[in-house]
Chain A
Amino acid sequence: MDVFDIYDKMERNNILLSFKGEITSDLLTSILQIMENKMDNMQEEPKMKKKVYNVLVECLQNLYHHLDEITEVDSEKIRSAIFTIGKMDNKYSIITGNYILNENINGLRNRLDEVNSLSKEELKEYYKKVLNNGEMSLKGGGGLGMIDIARKTGEKLEYNFLEIDNKVSFFTLNIKVSNQQN
């Protein structure tokens, strides 16, 4: 493994923090604390700091909840996920990657496409509708996460599915947080 290559890529992409492995509740607590400290040290403006923190919580908890689903089906290697947090030109990027069962791709893709098709006002209405009528899953907010991310960032959700084999694919989500919104 070429460590310098990894270092160089991270350096060039201004990665603030990166992790690959199993996503646990304690890990998320630590990561959020680290990012909060980093943003304080960088003297990030409070508004941006709050937005990044909020979006990060949703992105990371998505990973946390979805890892459970896949473990029932497959081996340990699949329990792990990756995320990186970077900042370039006053814009943060939060990228997550995790395995997903192929059978779940269409459902997720449709949800993401629906969120991406909505305007700011429509997202607000959709959020309220799902909040009030949507099924609460035992774990998460029952589909509110992606709507919330789109609302808070004002950006489209960039995503990709990379097929690994006939059972699983690797899902990546690329979220940008900038200050131009609102």
Chain B
Amino acid sequence: MEKYSIEGTPKTPSINFDLNGGILEVKGRSIPENSIEFYKPLVDALDKYASAAKPATTVNVQLEYFNTSSSKCILDVFKKLEGINKGGSAVTINWHYEEDDEDMLEAGEDYQAIINVPFKMIMVNE
């Protein structure tokens, strides 16, 4: 298998998905007008990964901003991860938020309440 990576832009995050290592990293801003189009390749890569998932999968999400259009797509990504977790790969989602960003912490807790995968809330200093 391989890697799926894309560079970040002012409106979209960088994505680094190491399918061999079982590590997915999403970092930056996610505020595109059309989020479905942006997240489709990642959802496809997760589908591919699901058929040969590693024993453990680590997901690092470190977003500075995300819009409500992205929030649905991020949920779709997490639902894929929920399936992968059920399928036998131990998934952990590390949700990073900046010290003063209570809204981002709350957003992580919203996902935690919906998705049946272990979440870790990680505070980062600016």
Q: Give me the interface of A with B, judged by CB distance under 8 Å.
A: 25, 28-29, 32-33, 46-47, 50-51, 53-54, 57-58, 61, 64-65, 124, 127-128, 131-132, 134, 136, 138-142, 144-145, 147-148, 152, 182
Tell me which residues across on chain A come within 8 A of B106, comparing CB atoms: 124
Contact A141 B68, CB 8 Å, known A54-B103, A128-B114? yes
Q: How many angstroms from the CA of A148 to the CA of B101 in the assembled complex?
A: 15
- Known A-B contacts: A64-B33, A128-B113, A148-B71. Give 12 more (CB < 8 A): A46-B100, A51-B103, A54-B65, A54-B67, A131-B71, A131-B75, A131-B114, A136-B36, A141-B67, A142-B72, A144-B72, A147-B68
Do A58 and B72 have beta carbons less than 8 Å apart? no
Main secondary structure of the interface of B (DSSP, over half): helix
Q: Is the CB of A124 within 8 A of B36?
A: no
**A152 contacts B72, C-beta separation under 8 Å:** no
Q: Considering only CB atoms, which chain B residue lies closest to A33 in the complex?
A: B10
B106 CB to closest chain A CB (Å) equals 7
Residues in chain B near residue A51, CB distance under 8 A: 103
How far, in angstroms, from A124 to B105 measured CA to CA in the complex? Answer: 13
CA distance A107 to B49 in the complex (A): 42
Query: In the complex, which residues of chain B have a beta carbon less than 8 angstroms from the beta carbon of A134?
Result: 72
- Considering the chains assembled together, what is the distance between the CA atoms of A178 and B105 in angstroms? 19
Residues of B within 8 A of A182 (CB): 102-103
CB-based contact A61/B33 at 8 Å: yes
Closest residue of chain A to B67 (Cβ to Cβ) is A57
Inter-chain contact B101/A140, CB cutoff 8 Å: no
Report the minimal beta-carbon distance from B116 to chain A, rounded to whole angstroms. 12
Whether A50 lies near B33 (C-beta < 8 A) is no
Chain A at the B interface: mostly helix, strand, loop or mixed?
Answer: helix
Instruction: Please provide the chain B residues from 57 to 83 with a CB less than 8 Å away from any CB of chain A in the complex.
Output: 65, 67-72, 75
The answer to whether the Cβ of B110 comes within 8 Å of any Cβ in the partner chain is yes
- Closest 7 CB pairs between A and B? A141-B68, A144-B68, A47-B100, A141-B69, A136-B72, A148-B68, A145-B68
A29-B10, A58-B67, A139-B34 given as contacts; is B72 within 8 A of A131 (CB)?
Answer: yes
Q: Are B68 and A50 in contact (CB under 8 A)?
A: no
The answer for the CA separation of A145 and B71 in the assembled complex, in Å, is 10
Complex Cα–Cα for A147 and B101 (A): 18
Interface residues of B in 108-126 (CB under 8 A from A): 110, 113-114, 126
CA distance A33 to B126 in the complex (A): 20
Q: Which residues of A contact B69 (CB under 8 A)?
A: 61, 139-141
